[in-house]
Homo-oligomer: A and B are copies of this chain.
Amino acid sequence: MNEGDDRRLARIALTWLAEPGTRSVHDLVKRHGPVAALDLLLSGDAPDRLLRAAVAVRTAAGDAHAVAAEALARAERIGARLVTPEDDEWPTRVADLRKLRLPEATRRVDVETDPPLCLWVRGGWPLGETLERSVAVVGARAATPYGSHVATELGYGLADREWTVVSGGAFGIDSAAHRGALTAGGRTVAVLACGLDRPYPMGNAALFDRIAETGLLVSEWMPGAEPLRPRFLIRNRVIAAATLGTVLVEAAARSGATQTLNRALGLERPAMVVPGPVTSALSVGGHQVLREKPETRLVANVAHVLEEVGRIGYDLAPLARAPQRPRDQLDDDAAQVLEAMPRRRTIDLEHIAARAGVDLRTAMRKLSMLEELALVVRRDDGYALAPTDDAHGARRPSDARHDTTPPTDASAPPIDNRRDAGADR
């Protein structure tokens, strides 16, 4: 076993010995690296009493190294992979959790607020790239029809503009947001609070399978891990930290979903709330946050959300009244390549080059640029026009049918960084 494998196994074992995010464990890993940190814990030398007790309970039940190796094998059987900070696809943004400051009221003594040591992932897209342009949409399980409708619309609208929709895979608002994104043919990520082989809630098993096919299932807990109650709160920090902003759709007073919003606030990321009827108990939580936290923004639609998380000139321009559209700024070659794109189907590199009358290298460079401008999207079998914001051309859920199956063949490796893979073609 090489050094890298040792580190990976150590990260798994450490996440098993103490709940993920435990500050003292993270401090040890930071100081000594995962392998030495694990040795230290297993030798009973953990710096604090609570941690020593937790480790003792675990080690009485099994051998940490064996548990980690078994978890890896089990992950392989269910088509999941381990992603660690050493991997290219690691979502670097979660490192901000080191800076997370929670308000007094929600802070516990040994609160699990540190970044994950590793993440289990099911699905073809590279994790980091998928989360690059992502928004969390969270809310109550016992959602009202109003809340479900709004979450679906947000999920659809964000995915339609090529944003990844992140949520927790629960019933209610979470499911609605995931489904909205799936309907738009976009990418969605469910961050679970248990092993990826134990879909929780069971009733969402089919939804999780669909998400794994076109998006990603993610968890800090190894395959087989149970959805214990405290894990949902621990998990929520990852949803807030992995995304550029969090939208709360419906929540009862001081519920779990408002905790995710608190974590976004603690990370100084945009924290947004969709208001609702004051007559609904499920709008109380959101209204409460809006009243108590002036940094929280009221949002009523996708445009409002993008105003918070979007970069100026990129996501805002298409929504302005008299827009300077990205395509107005293209050079001749790029304009020609864009013109050569078929209206409704995917096309491969050679055919675009031929239709545009440019060489392959130029076509590839310009397609990269058009992709950056969100005018073109890459599919597993080539390139396609990105969905537009034109009033007439705008797609509605009913006619959305474009394919976002992640790359699965040799021409576009499933996990490698997209840009590098493209340069090889």
Contact = CB atoms under 8 A, between A and B. Distances in A.
A304 to B, nearest CB: 7
A278 B287 CA distance: 13
A297 B291 contact: yes
Interface string A282-305: 011001001100100110110010
25 contacts: A146-B277, A146-B279, A149-B279, A150-B279, A274-B278, A275-B275, A275-B276, A275-B278, A275-B283, A275-B290, A275-B298, A276-B276, A276-B277, A276-B278, A277-B277, A278-B300, A278-B301, A283-B300, A287-B298, A287-B300, A290-B290, A291-B298, A291-B304, A294-B294, A298-B298
Interface of A: 146, 149-150, 274-279, 283-284, 287, 290-291, 294, 297-298, 300-301, 304
A132 B204 CA distance: 57
Contacts of A149: 279
Nearest to A249: B278
Top 9 nearest A-B pairs (CB, nearest first) are: A275-B275, A278-B300, A287-B300, A290-B298, A291-B298, A277-B277, A146-B277, A274-B278, A276-B277
Contacts of A274: 278
Contacts of A297: 291
Contacts of A278: 150, 274-276, 300-301
A274 B276 CA distance: 10
Nearest to A280: B277
A287 B150 CA distance: 15
Contacts of A300: 278, 283-284, 287
A146 to B, nearest CB: 6
Contacts of A301: 278
Contacts of A294: 294
Of A146, A277, A290, most buried by chain B (CB within 10 Å of CB) is A277
A283 B277 CA distance: 10
A158 B290 CA distance: 23
A301 B146 CA distance: 20
A148 B236 CA distance: 38
A305 to B, nearest CB: 11
A70 to B, nearest CB: 48
Nearest to A304: B291
Contacts of A146: 277, 279
Nearest to A284: B300
A291 B146 CA distance: 21
Nearest to A276: B277
Given A150-B278, A283-B300, A290-B298, 11 more contacts: A146-B277, A150-B279, A274-B278, A275-B275, A275-B278, A275-B283, A277-B277, A278-B301, A287-B298, A291-B297, A294-B294
A290 B274 CA distance: 12
A144 to B, nearest CB: 10
Of A283, A284, A297, A298, most buried by chain B (CB within 10 Å of CB) is A298
Contacts of A304: 291
A409 to B, nearest CB: 42
A178 to B, nearest CB: 20
Contacts of A290: 275, 290, 298
A425 to B, nearest CB: 44
A291 B304 CA distance: 10
